[in-house]
Chains A and B, each alone.
Chain A
Amino acid sequence: MRPEHGPTRPSHQLQIDHVTKRYGAATVVDDLSFTVEPGRVTGFLGPNGAGKSTTMKILLDLASADGGAATIGGRRYRELVDPVRTVGVLVEANAFHPGRSGRNHLRVVADAAGVPSGRVEDLLGLVGLADAADRRVGAYSLGMRQRLGLAAALLGDPPVLVLDEPGNGLDPQGIRELRELLRSRTANGDTVFVSSHLLAEVEHLADDVIVINRGKLVASGPLSDLQETASLVRTGSPDTLRTVLESAGGVVEIHGLNALVVRGLPIDEVGEHAHHAGVVLHELSPHAGSLEELFLDWTSGDSRHDAGTPEREVVTL
């Protein structure tokens, strides 16, 4: 997947505005609001069943919301004048007729969208499927199907990409090529919105992250800022300090014998709470946690996240 370089074009912001989706009694997306900015890769994270795919389908008008609205550049997907040239989509890795060849599938999609068939050959080369283009899609591996899905998403050379788990099944080379491809798109000012459960992939790829859990937003903002929202504290009284900080609203993890990682409280407040409690600190410093640590913190099932308790404060930067 070699990066494509196109001319500068209009940018599109994605807006999810108080979207709610219910299936029967289950609320899958619950009053969810966030914005995806152009020129940045935005990772969309959440545990299985958090509502990521449903949110993307609502954005793409493949599913209807019970409340709220999702727009692309201020318009609903169905209101877009030329959707294939505006939004490139990968939402179903297996949305292919297994008896068609990869080339034939792209030609069908290109015909439906009014895209010149010459673009099909370009994209087969771009995603590394030129040699397998005439094989039946039913014989493709998952990674090859993902590449074909990406080629279909890029057919209209759109300024917006909405990709649901694009790294699934890709080998390390494919992941790296995907990263380079998406980076090249944002360099042009394109909007790239990517859901993934591969945290390491997102950590390397995303500028911003949006994290949802049980259909609700739990964190959003630049990944680098979110990773620095924790404080590392070393003290001889870790249990006392933990109690103090948790009662003040912090989320505290014990690291080793005498170290705590504190989230949800600014670093200066951590120091002040320790001072008021008479706890001696040996170290108090910013802690850049891994995305995995942060993700587990944001989405873990502790009592602070359970329904029926006061709602967890959204981490927004």
Chain B
Amino acid sequence: MPWGFLAVLVTLSAINAIAVAFGTDMDGSKAFIATAEDQQSLVGFAGNAMMIAGLFGAIAVAREYGHGTVVPTFLAEPRRYRAVSAQFTAVLVGGGVLGFAGAALTVAAVALSLPATEFGFLMTAGGVAQVLAAAAFAGATGALLGAGIGAVVRNTGGAVAGAVVVLVIAPPLVVQLASEAASWIPNTLNTVVSGITTEVSVVAAIVALAAWAIVPAAIGLVAVQRRDVV
């Protein structure tokens, strides 16, 4: 599984590199990489990180039930909240690493492809650090969110579908129903934390993203405590 996710990250960074080297705006210019802000927006990886890590978390937890390997886990540690907390922590760290790696690859790919254009690498060190940190945070929260869904659904396909629904399908539908919710959906929050937009404060965005992860994780933890394992 880790190699599959790494391949996705490499592919996404390669797409970015190709876009920088060969892509143009509608008017034929390369305005999308003309300023430091444009470049920070381009390499902002937090949204992708949350989605990818969400799938990672959902698969990592749900397949423990699919393979039955959760049985020896709970036999070794029958206080399930401890076993599940350890699993969620491991997934959270894995998601953070995935997010950071994805952002780092993207930044590197863009930096390496910029010499093929008339523009240089304009982002500040602070900007790069913010993008990397935001992606790591988004990956961690996404993985925890996916893990919570995986613990509730306990079926790999269903957990993946659940993560897609929560992260991709449901937010725009909610915004359609309540436009004021637009500032609080994961994609918007991730752009805030990445320093790309300013719909809400960075602190508020971090808290809201954490809530997006903690709520399903808590539901998953309670479900595992209450339900039969097999």
- Min Cβ gap B68→A in Å is 3
- Is residue A186 within 8 Å, beta carbon to beta carbon, of the partner chain? no
* B72: chain A residues within 8 A (beta carbon): 95, 109, 112, 152
- Is residue A168 within 8 Å, beta carbon to beta carbon, of the partner chain? no
Cβ A92 vs Cβ B78 within 8 A = no
Report the Cα distance A60→B72, complex, angstroms. 11
Q: Which of B68, B78, B79 interacts with A96 by CB under 8 Å?
A: B68
* A62: chain B residues within 8 A (beta carbon): 71, 74-75, 228-230
* A92: chain B residues within 8 A (beta carbon): 68, 71, 230
Interface string of A85-124 (1 = CB under 8 A from B): 0010101101111100000000001001100000000000
Given the interface pairs A94-B68, A97-B69, the reply to whether A84 lies near B75 with Cβ below 8 Å is yes
Select the stretch in A75-83, A277-285, A303-311 that faces chain B.
A75-83
- Is residue B11 within 8 Å, beta carbon to beta carbon, of the partner chain? no
- Is residue A314 within 8 Å, beta carbon to beta carbon, of the partner chain? no
> Which among A62, A98, A113 has the greatest number of chain B C-beta atoms within 10 A?
A62
- Is residue A254 within 8 Å, beta carbon to beta carbon, of the partner chain? no
Q: Which of B71, B76, B78, B228 interacts with A95 by CB under 8 Å?
A: B71
Report the Cα distance A198→B220, complex, angstroms. 39
Report the Cα distance A61→B76, complex, angstroms. 12
Total B residues in contact with A, Cβ cutoff 8 Å: 15
* B228: chain A residues within 8 A (beta carbon): 57, 62-64
Q: Which of A60, A63, A96 interacts with B69 by CB under 8 Å?
A: A96
Cβ A97 vs Cβ B229 within 8 A = no
* B73: chain A residues within 8 A (beta carbon): 112
In B53-102, the 8 Å CB interface with A consists of 67-69, 71-79
Cβ A95 vs Cβ B229 within 8 A = no
Q: Which of B77, B78, B230 interacts with A63 by CB under 8 Å?
A: B230
Nearest A residue to B67, CB-CB: A97
Nearest A residue to B83, CB-CB: A112
* A97: chain B residues within 8 A (beta carbon): 67, 69
Cβ A89 vs Cβ B230 within 8 A = no
* A84: chain B residues within 8 A (beta carbon): 75-76
In B194-230, the 8 Å CB interface with A consists of 228-230
Report the Cα distance A64→B67, complex, angstroms. 21
In B138-164, the 8 Å CB interface with A consists of none
* B67: chain A residues within 8 A (beta carbon): 94-98
Cβ A91 vs Cβ B71 within 8 A = yes
> Which among A77, A83, A89, A95 has the greatest number of chain B C-beta atoms within 10 A?
A95
Other A-B pairs beyond A60-B78, A95-B68, 19, CB < 8 Å: A57-B229, A62-B71, A62-B75, A62-B230, A63-B228, A77-B78, A83-B77, A83-B78, A84-B76, A91-B230, A92-B68, A95-B67, A95-B71, A96-B69, A97-B67, A109-B72, A112-B76, A112-B77, A152-B72
Measured CB to CB, the residues of A under 8 A from B are 57, 60-64, 77-78, 80, 83-84, 87, 89, 91-92, 94-98, 109, 112-113, 152
Measured CB to CB, the residues of B under 8 A from A are 67-69, 71-79, 228-230
